[in-house]
Structure 1
Amino acid sequence: MFSVFGRWYRRKFSDPDAAMLLILILLTTAVLLLWGELIMPVLVAAVIAYLLDWPVCRLVNVGLGRTIACGIVMVGFITITILTLVGLVPIISKQSVNLIQETPLIWQKAQEWILTLPDKYPDYVQVSQIHQMMEGINEKLVEVGETLISASFSNIANLAALLVYVILVPLMVFFMLKDKLFFLDGISRLLPKERRLITQVGHEMNSQIANYIRGKVIEIIIVGVVSCVTFVLMDLRYAILLGVLVGFSVLIPYIGAAVVTIPVAVVAMFQWGISPEFWYLMIAYGIIQALDGNLLVPLLFSEAVSLHPLYIIVAVLVFGGLWGFWGVFFAIPLATLVKAVVTAWSSNPVVIPEEAK
């Protein structure tokens, strides 16, 4: 067993470039696991700078200086962010509060409907089963309510952290954009000389991550706007809140669309019951999801991220469990990174001398 493992290790890692790639991955993972929360503002700033680098480069190509181009892009980005927050946050907050206040009424109507099942299907549903199920659900709802209350107090305590993001992150983004070459040169000096595979993986990931992030942001905006407009036109309650949820659901492939269907269906059923309006809404929602998966995603991402659906789901679960929202957002790029690393190791076999076998 040890000889088999030894031959595999020498075949994959006797190349100094492969060993350096492995060491870099292990060090990066250790830093993120140990100090991920501490350096999260820096990581967020790096992600935003990565997104904004494309318009900065376009302005530089037109003839503007990099500092002026960075200033224009940052002003535009901050203006759009503020207008979006001012326009959406009050509406979403109000609708969220109203939905929370009406949740007991929705649950009461759901219980009344559930209690009718034993009369309709006496051979399959028993009254004792219904009462036992509702008691369990009520206990879970109480636990969820207590969790939400404690989370609200913790969010008040995290106001200082919010100020860090609001003030320091834009400053870091500006300097990362303005002095991009300086920081890249510094990182290059830190990397070892044996970095052929590191460079190979870096070049492969650069285009894929850039395309993925830009495509995902565009997908969120398109799906969210179309969903909001559709829900408003169909006079669905909490249309903006549910539309925003549908937009952000595309962050989690497969899982997000299934999960967000529940609040949309519950609100529609509470508003209209099992009626033609309910089915019209669900059909429209299904068309939005179908167009997103079969038309929008292929157009935005093409074959830039060619991963099996099972790998994507596993990546979402693993990286989401490690780093929460940002882990979910970058689950596919991180999975693509793992694939690129495995491909680099597999495509660079090392010939083992006979005396070493």
Structure 2
Amino acid sequence: MANDFDTIKKNANSFIIEIHKFIRENFQVSIGDQKKYLDSVTKDSVKTGQAKLGSFIISVSDVLLDSMIIIVYTFLFLIYKEHFKLFLAKLIKKENHPALMDILSQIKVSINNYIVSLIIEMIVVAVLTSLGLWIIGIKYFILLGLITGILNLIPYIGITIAGIITVLASLTGSGEISVILGILIVNIIVQFIDNNLLVPLIINSKVEINAFVSIMGIIVGGAAAGISGMFLAIPLLAILKIIFDRIESLEPWGYLMGNHVPRKFAWRVRRTKTQE
């Protein structure tokens, strides 16, 4: 992409000219009037644009920093794993140690399942994106699909960054509006499949957390600790659910967090399927 910078610049200018022509043909506004309007708007929004650019740079740096913090968290947890186990063993009475070991073993299984489900989701998103970009004729479609799959692990912001990279890469081939629209459509379709099929079927089913609690956890995690909090929200919820399910006084909260189907509703579903 760096080597194709001149081509990107040329195609970006062609893309802007096509937008001007589209507005002139459909809204009867001359290109000169469009440029005058853009100049007046640009003069009034230079300071705002600079402020937004600064905020964007800070946001990107925060994302990179949070990503590094997640790696550090994981590394430290692995190093001090036995230390944390001994701490919990000292904290809890000896007669409750079997229950503690059961909770820790289930947490290990749940976190392993969560990591596997993330990898599966990443692969599926990468394959779907690569296939969509290949269909619309985008250069580097495999690499861009992989980048989208990896960045999709970062909630909300990741897919936006991947979309910008894909649009820039598409300008190495052509600057047609149809190509840009095709990229947007591919990203929207893949995100729809990811949010409505992959996440409920793969991730939520693995950690046994319902969608409502997952969304609330991501919102609270983002407000409390930014990107790292959003990323760690679901595994932390899975850990809490395992603890709640094995403590009698907290069991209702574990049930509330789970994706259990009420018996009456499940009976109706089975009855409907039998009738069909």
Tell me the TM-score range normalised by the shorter chain.
0.5 to 0.7
Equivalent residue in structure 1 for 2:230, among 328, 346, 349: 328
- The aligned residue for residue 120 of structure 1 is 26
Distance 1:153 1:306 in 2: 33
Cα RMSD over matched residues? Answer: 5.4
Closer/same/farther in 2, CA of residues 140 and 267 from structure 1, 3 Å limit: farther
Count of aligned pairs between the two proteins: 236
Would the aligned equivalents of 1:246 and 1:260 in 2 still touch at CA under 8 Å?
Answer: yes
Aligned partners of 1:269 and 1:292: how far apart in 2?
26
Secondary structure at the aligned position of 1:187 is classed as: helix
Change (3 A) 1:315 1:322: same
Note if contact 1:219-1:296 (Cα within 8 Å) is conserved in structure 2: yes
- 1:291-306 equivalent positions in 2, closer than 5 A: 292=194, 296-297=198-199, 300-301=202-203, 303-306=205-208
Contact 1:232–1:239 (CA under 8 A) maintained in structure 2: yes
Percent of aligned positions that are identical:
23
User: 1:264-275 maps to which residues of 2 (within 5 A)?
Assistant: 264=166, 268=170, 271-275=174-178
User: What is the CA distance between 1:216 and its match in structure 2?
Assistant: 0.4
Q: Quick one: which amino acid aligns to residue 176 of structure 2?
A: G
Q: What aligned pairs does 1:1-357 form with structure 2 within 5 A after superposition?
A: 95=1, 97=2, 112=17, 117=23, 120-121=26-27, 130-131=38-39, 134-135=42-43, 139=47, 142-143=50-51, 183=83, 186-193=86-93, 199=100, 202=104, 205-224=107-126, 227-228=129-130, 231=133, 235-237=137-139, 239=141, 242-252=144-154, 257=159, 260-261=162-163, 264=166, 268=170, 271-275=174-178, 288-289=190-191, 292=194, 296-297=198-199, 300-301=202-203, 303-337=205-239, 345-347=249-251
Higher relative contact order (CA 8 A, sep 6+): 1
* Residue identity opposite 2:87 in structure 1: I
With structure 1 as the length reference, what TM-score do the two structures score?
0.44
Partner Cα distance (1:144, 1:98) in 2: 28
- 1:303-333 CA-partner distances (Å, limit 9, x unpaired): 2345454543443343235444432322222
1:19-42 Cα shifts (integer Å, max 9, x gaps) = xxxxxxxxxxxxxxxxxxxxxxxx
Q: Which structure 1 residue ranges, 5 or more long, are not aligned?
A: 1-94, 350-357
CA distance in 1, matches of 2:19, 2:206: 47
**How far apart, in 2, do the equivalents of 1:329 and 1:257 lie?**
14
Distance of aligned partners of 1:220 and 1:138 in 2 relative to their CA distance in 1, 3 Å threshold? farther
* Cα deviation code 1:317-352 (max 9, x no counterpart): 432354444323222222344556677554379xxx
TM-score by length of 2: 0.53
Report the secondary structure of 1:236's partner residue: coil
Structure 2 residue ranges without an equivalent (≥5): 254-276
